[in-house]
A and B are shown apart, each in its own frame.
Chain A
């Protein structure tokens, strides 16, 4: 079985996400379901976090709608390789719009962590950076160290072009940190933080 990423340097997911969010305090964050949501929540709950608990494949599209609606704020999608793969075409849709304020961060352990660590396409031959570039996101890159966190944060804060970051993380399972599952609550809290009123 091919495992071309086996020697790839990898980073601790919780540490990476915590540092990234600390460096991007103004970011509006949408998470994919599962471990990515736990990582974001574990770094500290924020009103400007939107945690998905389902809608697999939808995180990047949700981030696109949010980025188009809030062009003056940095929008970050933080998701996993499996979640992004399910909605892979959304990268083409994002590329067609090129929102300057959207960054997609894929925490890639090459596995479906939530369901028993089955291997995903990204450890079976799919190169997500090549996919993103092929779809038209030219600023697509891979990192595998905490130092790379600064490169991602700089792009987020600059809001000067769509970016896609594949972050190689260890295939471990940190203790679960469960964000609120009350969808209306996190939606209304998020909107209130933007000064939006109930309809």
Chain B
């Protein structure tokens, strides 16, 4: 019999959290990044990126870089390329709005760029505050000259992420893959 206080300890919760199996599509995302030789993964966290973030932290060949705001990541991945490494930016749709002027760097110096954007504000969204930026995310990226791909179904994630990745690092394009909110599913909201 395990005393009940163990169940409620933060440590136990953290362990349970990290040991939960990741959805297959999230594993496919990290597989593309790892097999593509990514050496730096910069991120502002989102639940949809949790497997890639955990995997980056655990991987001695990959530098995980937690950002205070997403535009740092645009500059950081460009600096990585300047130094000969492939780096990617993980963020959620709200972060795209934070990046807009910094995206100038990608065009002005013609840096390859690859970002994965988990979407909010588009599917069973409980929090209306996510709506304005979520609905403007694709247009904001395209206004700044970034090619946008989208994956909405788990079985297409690996192919689309891989296609965008190759366009960026083999073709020099600037690419965002939007990971649809339906991939994450409905967020369970409970009043405390």
Q: Do A and B come from one complex?
A: yes
Which A residues form the contact surface with B (CB < 8 A)? 28, 30, 50, 52-59, 61-70, 87, 89-90, 92-93, 96-97, 183-184, 186-187, 190-191, 194, 196, 199
Q: Which of B83, B104, B112, B170 interacts with A65 by CB under 8 Å?
A: B83
Q: In whole Å, how far is B99's beta carbon from the nearest beta carbon of chain A?
A: 10
Does B183 count as interface, using CB distance less than 8 angstroms? Answer: no
Tell me whether B4 is interfacial, beta carbon within 8 Å.
no
Counting CB contacts under 8 A, is B85 at the interface?
yes
Are A69 and B79 closer than 8 Å at their CB atoms? yes
**B170 CB contacts on chain A under 8 angstroms:** 199
A50 touching B82, Cβ below 8 Å: yes
Q: Does B109 lie at the interface of the complex (its beta carbon under 8 Å from any beta carbon of A)? A: yes
A-B contacts, 14 listed (Cβ < 8 Å):
A54-B108, A58-B72, A58-B105, A61-B76, A61-B79, A62-B76, A65-B79, A65-B83, A69-B79, A69-B87, A93-B68, A183-B105, A184-B110, A190-B82
Chain A's nearest CB lies how many Å from the CB of B87?
Answer: 6
The DSSP consensus for interface residues of chain A is: helix
Give the nearest-CB partner of B74 in chain A: A58
A65 touches B68 (CB 8 A): no
Contact between A55 and B75 (Cβ–Cβ < 8 Å)? yes
Q: Which of B20-28, B59-67, B129-137 is found at the contact surface with chain A?
A: B59-67
Cβ distance A144 to chain B, nearest Cβ, rounded Å: 29
A65→B75 CA distance, assembly (Å): 8
Query: For residues 50 through 101 of chain B, which have their beta carbon under 8 Å from a beta carbon of chain A?
Result: 63, 65-69, 71-85, 87, 101
Question: Which residue of B42, B71, B80, B169 contacts A69 across the interface (Cβ within 8 Å)?
Answer: B80
Contact of A187 among B72, B85, B102, B109 (CB under 8 A): B109
* 4 residue pairs, one from A and one from B, having the closest CB atoms: A65-B79, A69-B83, A89-B68, A183-B109
Q: Indicate which residue in A30, A58, A64, A196 contacts B71 across the interface (CB closer than 8 Å).
A: A58
Q: List 16 other contacts, CB 8 Å, given A55-B104, A65-B79, A69-B85.
A: A30-B79, A50-B82, A54-B101, A61-B73, A61-B75, A61-B79, A62-B78, A64-B65, A65-B77, A65-B85, A68-B83, A69-B83, A187-B82, A190-B82, A191-B84, A196-B84
Q: How far is the CA of A196 from the CA of B84 in the complex (A)?
A: 6
A32–B75 alpha-carbon span in the complex (Å) = 12
CB distance from A45 to the nearest CB of B (A): 17
